[in-house]
Structure 1
Amino acid sequence: NRQTHVLMITYILNRLFIAVYSLPWRVVVHTGRFINIGRLSSTTAAEKGEDSFLKWFLLLIPVTTFGLGTWQVKRRQWKMALIDDLMRLTNAEPIPLPLDPHELNSLEYRRVRVRGTYDHSQELYILPRSPVDPEKEAREAGTLSSSGETGANVITPFHCTDLGITILVNRGYVPRQKIRPETRMKGQVEGEVEVVGVVRLTEVRKPFVPNNDVERNRWHYRDLDAMSQVTGAVPIFIDADYGSTIPGGPVGGQTRITLRNEHMQYIITWYGLCAATSYMWYAKFIKKIKL
């Protein structure tokens, strides 16, 4: 991953910096033995020129790492602004669900309002999933964290009475022992209800994520086309918000803002490398300390 690449680059630059520092050392042959005579003084104009080139060449390393650290600061500011925008969308005043697929494609994370009835006989289960704490999600958006508890998200076809279509609604999280519907009959709401949720689009399977097992009803990522074929719904999917939670049923508000935000680690890495190589450069060329 990217963090590993940064660590590898850091290690290589450090080794390069130290290796280049050792270039002025000389080894001579005397009576059949190699004797290290230390740093030889540079007296010729050519040797002075080489030392000057080496001095300014090595300065490129702290300058470059400082630039990379500053770039990561700007990247972090951009990422935090993007996360804030997504959080505002997921908390904005809901709008009626549009039917235009082109409009829907531009409304991911937008809150919408629908009214209709659930078809609990065709539940789908996305698992394993850990519960989302909305307040914690707002604080730690984009980080990789887990509560340790696992269960499933319950996806239920929802017939919109005002629109005349059936969509898919992620009713929310249930623990492993509550996945089977007969274990949570109190939460299997009947009749017409209003649901406020967040528009979600189809997902592409990520590396190492298992394929969906349609026959066993074990889904690992949102494949709206496949889910629609199984349930007869149109490929429209919303995450019900926490306010749509039914007592005894799945816990809504399971929208996770999955934006990686590791820029602070990169900032510390690059600025730390800049500080280390700056000190080494200062010690060698200004203080004349043997490293």
Structure 2
Amino acid sequence: MMKKTNMAIQSKSTRSFFFFILFAALCVVFLCTFFALGIWQVQRLGWKEDLIKHANERVQLSPVAAPPQKQWADVHFDTDEYRPIFITGTYLNEKEIHVSTIFQESSGYWVLTPLKADDGTITFINRGFVPMDKENIKTREDGNIHGETTVSGLLRMSEGNGIFPRNNNPDANIWYSRQLPEMAKKLGLTNVAPYFIDADKTPNKGGYPIGGLTTVTFRNNHLSYAITWFILTAGVLAALIFLIMTEIKHRKGITDV
């Protein structure tokens, strides 16, 4: 009888040890993963803070000529976003696009108008904000600029969809983000710069569009993300320690029997 009891205990102990190894291995995997993600977010935090610092420095620089087509491949978000630039060309007013936005709690649109340079290249200009009742270009004809003009402003890269996107609908000409490739395709434009320009606050006749509304902002949640991952790491570590201590006590109890 004692022999059968010992065999049953050993069998149960073997199963228990198997599950212990399984759960311990899972804990180690999660521990390493969460810790690595925490370290990655700390690195991202440093990158973002450096990005913000340099962007705030760039925005204070004097405007330089917009990058020509041969330099487009060298224009990047990290090094060029919010760089003051200027460009000369002619507005294609009939091809302006309206991107939904909110300004001072009022719904309206960013007016993005293609500007054609002498070399035939196209650069979208965010001329500024108009309220909803000024969406139609005919309601603000005084603000249209005809003939060659020079525009100064801040270089901005083509936008993505964001975290919770409202997708653009080019077929219906409904826009929520400034995605230049989609806009160029919709308008049948080629040789379009990979960036657009937020026009400065130089007033437009008639008051619209209202330019110079750019705010230098970057989403920076990396610190909170890092803290979250490290808290999860600590939780898994505590669970692993508890699991090991429980197994040690369990083994000691079997040995005593």
Label 1:229 to 1:274 Cα distance change in 2 as closer, same or farther (>3 A): closer
Does 1:244 find its partner at 2:212? no
Matched length: 227
Q: Residue 106 of structure 1 aligns with which residue?
A: 74
**CA apart distance, 1:69:** 1.6
In structure 2, the partner of 1:150 is 107
Change (3 A) 1:175 1:193: same
- Tell me how far apart the structure 2 counterparts of residues 198 and 78 of structure 1 sit (CA, whole Å): 22
Provide closer, same or farther for how the CA distance between residues 56 and 201 of structure 1 changes in structure 2, counting only shifts above 3 A: closer
Pairing of 1:40-55 with structure 2 (within 5 A): none
Q: Secondary structure at the match of 1:244?
A: coil
Q: 2:5 aligns to what?
A: none
2:49 to 57, 74, 80: 80
Q: CA deviation at 1:50?
A: 7.0
- Equivalent position of 1:96 in the other structure: 65
The one-letter amino acid paired with 1:127 is V
Q: Which string of whole-angstrom CA distances, capped at 9 and with x for unpartnered residues, describes residues 221-273 of structure 1?
A: 3235336636xx85246323333343612222466879764433432321121
- The whole-number CA distance in structure 1 between the counterparts of 2:114 and 2:20 is 73
Per mean C-alpha deviation after superposition, the further-off stretch among 257-266 and 166-175 is 257-266
Q: Unaligned regions of 5+ residues in structure 1, if any?
A: 1-40, 132-146
Of 159, 175, 180, 2:136 maps to 180
Q: Measure the CA separation in 2 of the matches of 1:58 and 1:70.
A: 20
Q: CA deviation at 1:123?
A: 4.5
For structure 2, list consecutive stretches of 5 or more residues without a partner in the other structure.
1-8, 251-257
TM-score, structure 1 length as denominator? 0.56
Change (3 A) 1:91 1:55: same
2-side partners of 1:250 and 1:277: how far apart?
Answer: 55
Mapped contact 2:24–2:243 kept (Cα < 8 A): no
Provide the rounded CA distance (Å) in 2 between the counterparts of 1:58 and 1:104.
47
Assess if the C-alpha contact under 8 Å between 1:55 and 1:285 holds in 2.
no
CA distance in 1, matches of 2:38, 2:155: 36
Counterpart of 1:125, as a letter, is I
Deviations 1:134-173 (A, max 9, x none): xxxxxxxxxxxxx76432121234455xx46574422012
